[in-house]
Amino acid sequence: MPDPAIRTEALSKTYRSGIINRESVHALREVSLTVQRGEIFGLLGPNGAGKTTLLKILLGIAWPTSGRARLFGHATHAPVARQQVGYLPEKHRFPDFLTTDQMLHLYGRLSGVPSDEREARIPELLDQVDMSEWRGTKLKKFSKGMMQRVGLAQALLNDPDLVFLDEPTDGVDPVGRREIRDILLWLHNQGKTIFLNSHLLSEVEKVCTRVAILNQGALVRLGTIDELTAMERLYDLQTTRIPDGVLSALDDVLRPADAFETSQDAIFRYRLQVENRADLNAVLDRLRSAEVELEAVEPVRRSLEDYFIDVVSPQNSAPEATSA
Amino acid sequence: MTALSGIVLLSVRELWAKKIVIGLFVVSTLVLLMTAFALNLDVVEGSLAGVRVFGENLGDAQDGDGEGITLQNVVFSVQAVVAGATYWIGILLALFSTAPLFTSLLETGHIDLLLSKPLSRTQLFIGHISGVWLTMLILSTYLLGGVWLIMSIKTGVWNPSFLLSIGIVLAMFGVMYSVIVFTGVWTQSTALALIVTYGLIFISLVLAGGEQLANQLQPGWRAVFWGFYHVLPNFAEVTQTVSNLSRAEPIASWYPFASASLFGAVLYGSAGFWFTRRDF
Show the 3-state SS of B242-257. HHHHHCCCCCCCCHHH
Counting residues of chain B whose pLDDT is more than 70, the rounded percentage is 91
Helix then strand then coil, % of chain A, to nearest 5: 35, 30, 35
Q: Decide if B134 contacts B126 (C-beta within 8 A).
A: no
* B54 CB neighbour count, 10 Å cutoff: 9
Span B130-183, pLDDT tens digits:
999 999 999 999 999 999 999 999 888 899 999 999 999 999 999 999 999 999
Taking an 8 Å cut-off on Cβ atoms, the answer to whether A89 and B280 are in contact is no
User: Angle at CA A245, nearest 5°, toward A239 and A248?
Assistant: 85
Span A189-241, pLDDT tens digits:
999 999 999 888 888 988 999 999 999 999 999 999 888 887 778 899 999 99
Taking an 8 Å cut-off on Cβ atoms, the answer to whether B280 and A79 are in contact is no
Span A187-202, pLDDT tens digits:
999 999 999 998 888 8
Task: Over range A63-67, report the average pLDDT.
Answer: 96
Span B16-40, pLDDT tens digits:
888 888 888 999 999 999 888 877 7
Q: By CA distance, what is B17's nearest residue in A?
A: A97
pLDDT value of position A322? 40
Distance from CA of B12 to the nearest CA of A (A): 12
Distance from CA of A260 to the nearest CA of B (A): 52
* Strand B39-44 with B47-53, pairing: antiparallel
Residues of A in contact with B123 (CB under 8 A): 79
Could you tell me the residue ranges of all domains in chain A?
6-227, 232-300
Residues of A in contact with B3 (CB under 8 A): 109-112
| Statement: A6-227 belongs to CATH 3.20.20.140 | no
Q: How many domains does chain B have?
A: 1
Between these two residues, A295 and A18, which has the higher pLDDT value?
A: A295
Taking an 8 Å cut-off on Cβ atoms, the answer to whether A107 and B115 are in contact is no
Integer-rounded Cα radius of gyration of chain B: 22
Residue type, A184: L
Residues of B in contact with A82 (CB under 8 A): 116-118
Taking an 8 Å cut-off on Cβ atoms, the answer to whether A91 and B119 are in contact is no
Helix (H, G, I), strand (E, B) or coil at B51: strand
**Partner B, chain A 104-133, Cβ-Cβ below 8 Å:** 106-107, 109-114
Q: By CA distance, what is A88's nearest residue in B?
A: B113
Q: Is the pLDDT of residue A323 over 60?
A: no
Please give the DSSP secondary-structure letter assigned to residue B36: I
Taking an 8 Å cut-off on Cβ atoms, the answer to whether A109 and B2 are in contact is yes
Alpha carbon B58 to chain centroid distance?
Answer: 30
User: Angle at CA B27, nearest 5°, toward B26 and B31?
Assistant: 120
Q: How confident is the model at residue B225 (pLDDT cuts 50, 70, 90)?
A: confident
Distance from CA of A225 to the nearest CA of B (A): 29
Taking an 8 Å cut-off on Cβ atoms, the answer to whether A59 and B107 are in contact is no
Taking an 8 Å cut-off on Cβ atoms, the answer to whether B6 and A91 are in contact is no
Q: How confident is the model at residue A317 (pLDDT cuts 50, 70, 90)?
A: low
Taking all residues of chain A, what is their mean pLDDT, rounded to a whole number? 90
Distance from CA of B227 to the nearest CA of A (A): 28
Helix (H, G, I), strand (E, B) or coil at A267: coil
* B186 CB neighbour count, 10 Å cutoff: 15
Residues of B in contact with A63 (CB under 8 A): 277, 279
Topology adopted by domain A232-300: Alpha-Beta Plaits (3.30.70)
Q: By CA distance, what is B19's nearest residue in A?
A: A97
Domain hosting B81: range is 2-277
Q: How confident is the model at residue A171 (pLDDT cuts 50, 70, 90)?
A: confident
Residues of B in contact with A95 (CB under 8 A): 10, 13-14, 17
User: Is the Cβ of A193 closer than 8 Å to some Cβ of chain B?
Assistant: no
Helix (H, G, I), strand (E, B) or coil at B63: coil
Tell me the count of A-B CB pairs closer than 8 A: 88
* A213 CB neighbour count, 10 Å cutoff: 26
Candidate ranges B16-25, B209-218, B242-251, B258-267; pick with highest mean pLDDT? B258-267
User: Is the Cβ of A187 closer than 8 Å to some Cβ of chain B?
Assistant: no
Q: Decide if A149 contacts A130 (C-beta within 8 A).
A: yes
